[in-house]
Amino acid sequence: MDELHTADDRPPWDGLEGTERHAVCVAAAREGNRDALDVLVTELNPLLWHVARGQGLDRAAAEDVVQTVWLAFLKNIENINEPKALVGYLVVTTRREARRTWTPNKRETHLSDEFAEQLESNTGLPEDVTLMDDRDRRLWLAFGRLTTRCQELLRLTVLAGRAEYRAVAEALAMPHGSIGPTRGRCLNLLRNYLETEGGSR
């Protein structure tokens, strides 16, 4: 942040990447380094957001879930023994938190995998939908027709494909270079919807 910093007071995570960087930040945050916490929040917040949204939460609920997860993380920061597990911990905690928040039709049920499987989700489109590229619009509509379970899987798939979130793939045991049967089925459905999404909407 401060361009006048000299090499000596560079933060210890400077120049590090991925899990190594996060691990150093966790260690520094435990020692009370607020900048380290801020680095973690800045870099991992989009991941938490997409995980919460992938559970079918609306944007306002997803915001609260993300905040709750970070606050809970503070309390548990001493207990995260395996620094490489940070991303996994955050993803798992966000999913759990999202599910307990999710109350379909005012029922106090938590979103189970089985229910998410059947649930047609409503992803919504931005208000300036007319400004969108037609192919983008059709793909997003098709994506929105998938079950919440499929949407989450595909969101996690693309996130795990990003260099900065590689730990997601490890945390969720999603190996590179292979698409399991469930993801394959979701992708087939997505392509089918995309083909029928032509002039009907």
Residue from 36, 37, 116, 150 binding another protein (CB under 8 A): 37
Distances (CA, A) of 64 to 46, 70, 101, 123, 126: 14, 10, 9, 18, 21
Q: How many residues bind another protein (CB under 8 A)?
A: 53
Decide: is 68 part of the binding site for another protein (CB under 8 A).
yes
Which residues lie below 8 Å from residue 139, measured CB to CB, with a gap of 6+? 190, 194, 197
- Left (φ > 0), alpha (ψ -120 to 50) or beta: where does 84 sit? alpha
Residues 115 to 174: which contact another protein by CB under 8 A? 123, 125-126, 135-136, 139-140, 143, 154-155, 157-158, 161-163
Q: Which is nearer to another protein, 148 or 157 (CB)?
A: 157
Contacts 24+ apart (CB under 8 A), 169-172: 170/84, 170/87, 170/88, 171/85, 171/87, 171/88, 171/91, 171/92, 172/88, 172/91
Decide: is 71 part of the binding site for another protein (CB under 8 A).
yes
Residue from 70, 85, 93, 95 binding another protein (CB under 8 A): 70
> Applying CB under 8 A, which residues contact another protein?
34, 37-38, 41-42, 45-46, 49-50, 53, 58-61, 63-64, 66-68, 70-72, 74-75, 77, 100-101, 103, 106, 123, 125-126, 135-136, 139-140, 143, 154-155, 157-158, 161-163, 176-179, 184, 187, 190-191, 194
